[in-house]
């Protein structure tokens, strides 16, 4: 079985990486970027497996491996809360693959120092691979510590950095890595993958809304419309009503930071769809075609200028949430800014 069997599409990336490994030309630092759900982590695990000559972690985004580690920790007496919420500083597979994930929601410099002190100080007999997931959660201290390491990597050690936000990566790190961008996957590849996983239902609407994102298509097909998407539509609708502030605040106040970011991301997607509708674009161009009627009903309240402001304000809000500005303050700022943007159009 191929080490990349769980990756949907992205065949050109897989072929290129495999060729580089075969020719012993793979750079020691790689940067995988692209939105969540496009296969970056599975590709990183597949590449790590190829480099060490056996299956690393587990091919299902490491989920089986994580479950095994979780159960072992529980048997060792750790509480369910600690084992589930805090995670480990480093997940180690056989002393050859090291997987660093955010502790709770942040990549901490202590995780990197522990990697260097406990594992990178001694030479290995073969290749070793370090996977750093969700690098967009790292602060400047963590990023600079990593930079010093990848400038002069230990022998036979490969670093795979994964991020959903290329702009959050220091230019000095980007310049020392081979950047690998993950893009949308064609519908036929997603259909075939879903069929192999036992799904035989109609994928038409899920594919239209998923816009080439295999994980999102799967969620839409199996679970229906995400709650965050419905919340995003509701927020946009409420912005045109009189008691907008209280109602939107009540809708968003219980959401955690990552869920808020997801709501804001869907609002940007919906704003993009409203731009398409305002320009008279075809139904096939919409990323959320299921909401076309509701978007058309609210479109009169949004000018092109206010839709541009929507994108800008939500990107700023996402940055603020990523930098751990208090979520309630971010929500209040977004509500006020977006209401101001549309006010002249809804009076």
Give a yes or no: residue 3 inside a domain: no
Q: What pLDDT, on a 0 to 100 scale, did the predictor assign at position 84?
A: 63
CA distance 241 to 243: 6
Please indicate, yes or no, whether residues 151 and 212 belong to a single structural domain of this protein: no
Per the CB < 8 A criterion, the answer to whether 307 and 275 are in contact is yes
Please indicate, yes or no, whether residues 174 and 248 belong to a single structural domain of this protein: no
Give a yes or no: residue 337 inside a domain: yes
Q: How confident is the model at residue 344 (pLDDT cuts 50, 70, 90)?
A: low
Q: What pLDDT, on a 0 to 100 scale, did the predictor assign at position 47?
A: 96
Could you tell me the CATH number of the domain that includes residue 75? 3.40.50.300
Domain boundary among the residues 181, 211, 234 is at: 181
CA distance 187 to 197: 15
Long-range own/partner contacts, residues 195-204 (CB < 8 A, 24 or more apart): none
Give a yes or no: residue 153 inside a domain: yes
What percent of the chain stands above pLDDT 70? Answer: 95
The strands making up 157-163's β-sheet, listed across from edge to edge, are: 91-93, 97-100, 128-132, 157-163, 29-33, 178-181
C-alpha count within 13 angstroms, C-beta hemisphere, residue 289? 14
Mean pLDDT score, 209-214: 80
Please indicate, yes or no, whether residues 214 and 245 belong to a single structural domain of this protein: no
| Strand, helix or coil for residue 33 | strand
Could you tell me the CATH number of the domain that includes residue 290? 1.20.272
The total number of residues shown for the chain amounts to: 347
Give a yes or no: residue 187 inside a domain: no
pLDDT at 49 over 90: yes
Per the CB < 8 A criterion, the answer to whether 160 and 32 are in contact is yes
Domains in the chain, number: 3
pLDDT at 107 over 60: yes
Structure tokens at 231: 């919340």
pLDDT digits (tens, 9 = 90+) for 260-287: 988 998 899 899 899 999 888 887 778 7
Pick 292 or 122 by higher pLDDT. 292
Q: How confident is the model at residue 347 (pLDDT cuts 50, 70, 90)?
A: very low
Give a yes or no: residue 75 inside a domain: yes
> What residues contact residue 124 under an 8 Å CB cut-off, 6+ apart?
95, 96, 156, 157
Please indicate, yes or no, whether residues 98 and 211 belong to a single structural domain of this protein: no
Structure tokens at 138: 């790292």
Predicted model pTM? 0.74
Q: How confident is the model at residue 83 (pLDDT cuts 50, 70, 90)?
A: low
Please indicate, yes or no, whether residues 229 and 324 belong to a single structural domain of this protein: yes
Q: How confident is the model at residue 221 (pLDDT cuts 50, 70, 90)?
A: confident
Structure tokens at 285: 């161009």
Q: Is 24 left (phi over 0), alpha (psi -120 to 50) or beta?
A: left
Q: How confident is the model at residue 82 (pLDDT cuts 50, 70, 90)?
A: low
Give a yes or no: residue 4 inside a domain: no
pLDDT at 346 over 50: no
| Strand, helix or coil for residue 343 | helix
Structure tokens at 304: 């092109």
CA distance 325 to 328: 9
Mean pLDDT score, 116-141: 86
Q: Is 246 left (phi over 0), alpha (psi -120 to 50) or beta?
A: alpha
Q: What DSSP element (H or E) covers 233?
A: helix 227-238
Give a yes or no: residue 1 inside a domain: no
Structural domain for 174, as ranges: 11-181
| Bridge partner list, 158 | 129
Considering the chain, what is the average pLDDT of its residues?
A: 86
Give a yes or no: residue 32 inside a domain: yes
Q: What pLDDT, on a 0 to 100 scale, did the predictor assign at position 124?
A: 65
Please indicate, yes or no, whether residues 133 and 237 belong to a single structural domain of this protein: no
Please indicate, yes or no, whether residues 75 and 156 belong to a single structural domain of this protein: yes
pLDDT at 233 over 50: yes
């Amino acid at each position: 079985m191929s080490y990349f069997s769980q990756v949907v599409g992205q065949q050109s990336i897989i072929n290129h990486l495999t060729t580089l490994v075969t020719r012993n030309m793979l750079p020691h630092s790689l940067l995988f970027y692209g939105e969540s759900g496009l296969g970056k982590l599975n590709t990183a695990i597949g590449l790590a497996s190829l480099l060490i000559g056996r299956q690393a972690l587990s091919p299902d985004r490491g989920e089986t491996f994580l479950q095994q580690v979780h159960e072992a920790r529980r048997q060792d007496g750790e509480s369910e809360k600690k084992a589930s919420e805090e995670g480990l500083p480093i997940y180690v597979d056989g002393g050859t693959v090291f997987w660093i994930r955010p502790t709770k929601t942040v990549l901490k410099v202590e995780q990197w120092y522990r990697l260097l002190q406990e594992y990178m100080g001694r030479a290995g007999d073969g290749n070793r691979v370090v996977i750093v997931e969700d690098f967009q959660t790292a602060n400047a201290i963590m990023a600079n510590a990593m930079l010093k390491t990848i400038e002069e990597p230990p022998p036979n050690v490969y670093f795979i950095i994964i991020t959903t936000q290329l702009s959050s990566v220091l230019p000095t790190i980007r310049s020392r890595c081979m950047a690998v961008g993950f893009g949308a996957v064609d519908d036929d590849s997603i259909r075939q993958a879903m069929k192999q996983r036992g799904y035989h239902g109609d994928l038409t609407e899920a594919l239209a809304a998923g816009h080439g994102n295999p994980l999102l298509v799967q969620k839409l097909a199996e679970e229906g419309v995400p709650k965050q998407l419905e919340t995003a539509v509701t927020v946009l609708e409420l912005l045109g009503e009189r008691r907008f502030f209280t109602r939107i605040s009540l809708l968003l106040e219980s959401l955690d930071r990552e869920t808020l970011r997801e709501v804001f991301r869907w609002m940007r997607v919906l704003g993009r769809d409203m731009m398409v509708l305002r320009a008279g674009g075809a139904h096939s161009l919409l990323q959320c075609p299921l909401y076309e009627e509701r978007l058309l009903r609210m479109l009169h309240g949004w000018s092109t200028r206010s839709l541009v402001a929507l994108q800008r304000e939500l990107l700023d809000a996402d940055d603020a949430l990523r930098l751990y500005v208090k979520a309630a303050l971010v929500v209040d700022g977004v509500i006020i800014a977006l209401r101001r943007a549309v006010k002249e159009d809804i009076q």
